[in-house]
Structure 1
Amino acid sequence: MNRRSLLRFFAGLASAPALPALAQEDQWKAGVAAVAITPKEPMWMAGYGSRTRPSDGVLHEIFAKALALEDGAGTRSVIVSAEILGFSATMAEAISGQVRKRFGVTRERLLLNASHTHSGPVTGDVLLPAYPLDEKQTTIIRRYTARFIDQVVGIVGQSLANLEPARLSFEQGLAGFAVNRRRVGARHRPGPVDHDVPVLCVRKADGTIKAILFGYACHNTNLSGYQYSGDYSGIAQAAIEKMYPGASALFIAGCGADANPLPRRTVELATMYGNILASAVDLVLKGKMRPVAGPLNATWEYVDLPFQTAPTKTQLQAQASKGEGMYRRYAEGLLRKIAKEGRLPEKYAYPVQVWQFGKDLTLIPLAGEVVSDYSLRFKKQYGWDNTWVAGYSNDVFAYIPSLRVLKEGGYEGGGAMIPYGQPAPFRAAVEEIIAEKVDELVKRVRSS
């Protein structure tokens, strides 16, 4: 080719129409990873204070799974779904610190969600006053927790290493087995429940399904025995993965602090509820889903939740000497805190996280055991069709009551502060404090 021909060639390139830019929904990359976290030895099981001995077998293997997402700008975010009762703040800090150091994923871009199964092992210091632990079990729990943290960091790294082009889509289904447990008689009585089943589908470039992220707002309390299990949500994940071979199913626990599966307490019922939830997800996947575009904007901040007046040192000393079981352990724990820090805390630093997927989906992961009022409120405020509110995220340290539940009292309204080792119920402003911070962060990510 002579000089004149070369000039004509490059001139043609300059005048040729530009290749169309990839649509935002075509610019995703996704990776998944999973690891079995079933303990290899008898351990105290989490969730119920009525258990009297460690575990004695495995009904279903339990897992931790990770879904990594990279948007068109190359920004990476990771969702971890784990079949444990909850991540403590200390556990979450250890995991997020290693993830940031090793993989460069910042705190706001790491979502740690616990399925809240009551048939998994005790981890960290979550709900510790509820359990009559001896020195041997305490040592086992510490050892298991350290290994679990390493396993979670490991699957985060694996999911990031497995990134490949992907497309995202979202839609919501319905499942009806959750019952508001605060108003339960011979039959179900009216009470707030969130029956939505949000589903985020991740497809490979060839259209096959790579991952299915789905949620439901109901306690994982169908089973109460001594064998490990992910309960209904673990059964649902296994059923979905059987329906879609090669795909990974990840469960995100919603705002189901005041909801139970009813009736309950048998393996048959857990299986039935798991299959109901899996069928709801399947119906969504087989229907029309809305494309989800990037970028993925993320933010994270703490907000202080004030406690009511705490018991005095004298009151706690009396309870520690005369109380029994959980109430004695609760008092002893608070007395140790006073001895170490000089006083009991007056507030709790509550983490709030918000993810915004383009203009298509707002994900609001909330810490603690969150009652359904929050999910219903935020979906009404930000959009029923494109808002997903999760509970049990990043720090499970207490129940998070709405003002209504706080006024009504009961276990979710304040009684659960004892097994969680918190000094007192929250003050009446708790709902509005959280709502104001959520609104601030939603506006921030939607305007970015």
Structure 2
Amino acid sequence: MKIGAAAVEITPPVGLAMDGYGARIGGAAGIHDPLWARVLVAEGEDGTAIGLVMADLLQIEERLQGLIAAEVLRTAGIPRDRLQLAGTHTHSGPAFSEPSAAEEVVGRAITGAVAEAWAGRREAVAAVGIGTIDGIGANRRPNGGPLDDRVTVARFDDLSGQPIATLVNYGCHPTTLGPDNNLYSADFPGVACARIEDALGGVALFSTGPQGDVNPGGYSPEGSMVGVVAPWRTFESAGRYGAAIADVAVAVHRGLRPEPSARVWGSAAIVELRRKPLPDAGVAREAARAAAATAATIRAADLSPDATYHAVVAAAYAELIAGQAGDPQRDEDVAIRISALAFGPLVHLGVSGELFTALGQRIRAAVGDDRTCIAALCDGTVGYLPTADAFGVGGYEPNASVLVAGEGERLADAIIRLAQGAPAA
């Protein structure tokens, strides 16, 4: 097995709209820390080529995926079904919802990094291990829920023992920074990668695991939706979280003993999921207008902060449903991409959505906890992928999801079947 890795800065110009929070006011006013794209590629003895891109973006939009995939196929021969294009899901990066020159620059930078990694690939040994961490992620659901405290670490060295890459996977929203932040930042994944690279050398990739119901500290996602930010959501906290993850990853890495592996494999599939029923678009839009008017009246009346908050949240939910109801694809199934790459002993799964923790645990238990990890926001996103019981409880994620209850479990089973197709390590 040959492994290559590369990293490239992708921080765009200041002034662009930022992604992640509808409540954010204004675009990027500056740069707190740079945004990066990091790349891992592998080539098997039979010429099989696979690649993984982890970029400090909310997600990699479909249009940008197409640009990258076409160039990667041309320069490295990696086909689309063996290429994962994932965002770390930082909420402090640029929004590329529309075509732009800045998006094209980022795309060219990423394809250049893939070409660099491919050109520098060399015979390698690998190992995978797991550490645990607490004090960062918390399940944010109204009734609580599971938390996966595992930090999966994959180590890739050349035959002389020099580091090529370290991949770290941990499931938590990279949303330490809230909608009040207008500075570009990779949040805690960026801190973790920088510290790992300083400590170990090589390229460090942060793969964001199932995080649909987990964020730093368990703050209310409804608060973020309407612009209410907990005071501890600061750059200092992001630095502390990233440093803690890096410390665990470095300790696990140093305890691993890499071995040769010939397994290089990849596959992908599209799963069609049922979309939830929605009200008539006109009715939903009128309900949103009424809820907004009620919120404005309550705010003007200077009632209690609690009453104002609940009215504003209700208006935000009504607007969310109106947006879903007005979607031209509202009556069509939801196509979601799933993928699997085997870098020697590591099976790196991808899903184009925000998977709940319990579903991630279900997948890993079925295909091998110790050498498997899952990247959310991989090859775009269809939004939240809750468990069936979450719909009965309600709250932000089921409301934001476009799926029918139970489709998350069906998706998890499809990912399990895909992963089970990997050859033995």
Same fold per superposition (TM over 0.5): yes
Q: How far apart in 2 are the matches of 1:78 and 1:308?
A: 34
Change (3 A) 1:395 1:405: same
User: What's the counterpart of residue 420 of structure 1?
Assistant: none
User: What's the counterpart of residue 422 of structure 1?
Assistant: none
Of stretches 315-324 and 104-113 in structure 1, the one that deviates more from structure 2 is 315-324
1:133-185 superposed Cα distances (whole Å, 9 cap, x missing partner):
xxxxx6xx63322222222222111211111222111111112121111148x
Q: How far apart in 1 are the matches of 2:54 and 2:5?
A: 11
Q: How far apart in 2 are the matches of 1:201 and 1:117?
A: 24
Quick check: 2:155–2:256 contact (8 Å CA) kept in 1?
Answer: no
1:26-66 superposed Cα distances (whole Å, 9 cap, x missing partner):
xx212222211111221121111221111111110110111
User: What's the counterpart of residue 238 of structure 1?
Assistant: 194
User: What's the counterpart of residue 305 of structure 2?
Assistant: none
1:219-251 superposed Cα distances (whole Å, 9 cap, x missing partner):
101112111111111011111111124x11111
Quick check: 1:164–1:204 contact (8 Å CA) kept in 2?
Answer: yes
Quick check: 2:13–2:102 contact (8 Å CA) kept in 1?
Answer: no
Larger Rg: 1
Q: How far apart in 1 are the matches of 2:347 and 2:375?
A: 11
Q: What percentage of residue pairs aligned between the two structures are identical? A: 28
Change (3 A) 1:210 1:307: same
Aligned ranges 1:68-217 → 2 under 5 Å: 68-124=41-97, 142-176=100-134, 177-183=136-142, 191-217=145-171
Match 2:373 to one of 385, 388, 393 = 388
Deviation >4 Å, runs of 4+ = 319-335
Match of 1:180, as an amino acid? N
Quick check: 1:171–1:290 contact (8 Å CA) kept in 2?
Answer: no
Q: How far apart in 2 are the matches of 1:244 and 1:290?
A: 14
Change (3 A) 1:395 1:69: same
Query: What's the secondary structure of 1:79's corresponding residue?
Result: strand
User: What's the counterpart of residue 407 of structure 1?
Assistant: 392
Aligned ranges 1:352-371 → 2 under 5 Å: 352-357=338-343, 360-371=345-356
User: What's the counterpart of residue 303 of structure 2?
Assistant: none
Quick check: 1:179–1:260 contact (8 Å CA) kept in 2?
Answer: yes
How far is 1:291 from its partner? 3.4
Quick check: 2:152–2:170 contact (8 Å CA) kept in 1?
Answer: yes
How far is 1:196 from its partner? 0.9
Quick check: 2:42–2:343 contact (8 Å CA) kept in 1?
Answer: no
Instruction: Say if 2:179 is the partner of 1:248.
Output: no
Q: How far apart in 2 are the matches of 1:435 and 1:328?
A: 30
Quick check: 2:91–2:174 contact (8 Å CA) kept in 1?
Answer: yes
**TM-score where L is the length of structure 1:** 0.80
Q: How far apart in 2 are the matches of 1:282 and 1:317?
A: 51
User: What's the counterpart of residue 14 of structure 1?
Assistant: none
User: What's the counterpart of residue 36 of structure 2?
Assistant: 63
Match of 2:92, as an amino acid? S
1:347-370 superposed Cα distances (whole Å, 9 cap, x missing partner):
111111122456x43322111111
Change (3 A) 1:447 1:277: closer
How far is 1:329 from its partner? 8.5
Match of 1:349, as an amino acid? A
Match 2:273 to one of 305, 316, 336 = 305
Change (3 A) 1:446 1:405: farther
Match 2:406 to one of 429, 432, 437 = 429
Q: How far apart in 2 are the matches of 1:307 and 1:315?
A: 19
Q: How far apart in 1 are the matches of 2:419 and 2:373?
A: 12
How far is 1:214 from its partner? 0.8
Q: How far apart in 1 are the matches of 2:12 and 2:256?
A: 40
Q: How far apart in 2 are the matches of 1:116 and 1:65?
A: 14
Q: How far apart in 1 are the matches of 2:92 and 2:140?
A: 19
Of stretches 310-319 and 104-113 in structure 1, the one that deviates more from structure 2 is 310-319
Q: How far apart in 1 are the matches of 2:47 and 2:211?
A: 34
Change (3 A) 1:159 1:103: same
Query: What's the secondary structure of 2:183's corresponding residue?
Result: coil
Match 2:177 to one of 223, 237, 259 = 223
Q: How far apart in 2 are the matches of 1:296 and 1:116?
A: 27
Quick check: 1:94–1:149 contact (8 Å CA) kept in 2?
Answer: yes
How far is 1:68 from its partner? 1.2
User: What's the counterpart of residue 283 of structure 1?
Assistant: 251
User: What's the counterpart of residue 382 of structure 2?
Assistant: 397
Q: How far apart in 2 are the matches of 1:316 and 1:351?
A: 29
Query: What's the secondary structure of 1:377's corresponding residue?
Result: helix
Quick check: 1:252–1:390 contact (8 Å CA) kept in 2?
Answer: yes
Match of 1:416, as an amino acid? A
Provide structure 2 residue ranges, at least 5 long, that are not aligned to the other structure: 219-231, 293-314
Q: How far apart in 1 are the matches of 2:275 and 2:190?
A: 35
- Count of residue correspondences: 386
1:396-436 superposed Cα distances (whole Å, 9 cap, x missing partner):
231111112233221112x224xxxxxxx311230232133
Q: Alpha carbon RMSD of aligned pairs, Å?
A: 2.4
Change (3 A) 1:262 1:436: closer
Quick check: 2:268–2:337 contact (8 Å CA) kept in 1?
Answer: yes
Change (3 A) 1:330 1:88: farther
Match 1:43 to one of 16, 36, 39 = 16
1:110-133 superposed Cα distances (whole Å, 9 cap, x missing partner):
111211111111123xxxxxxxxx
Aligned ranges 1:326-341 → 2 under 5 Å: 331=322, 335=326, 338=328
Query: What's the secondary structure of 1:291's corresponding residue?
Result: coil
Q: How far apart in 1 are the matches of 2:198 and 2:346?
A: 27
Quick check: 1:373–1:402 contact (8 Å CA) kept in 2?
Answer: yes
Match of 1:258, as an amino acid? D
How far is 1:105 from its partner? 0.8
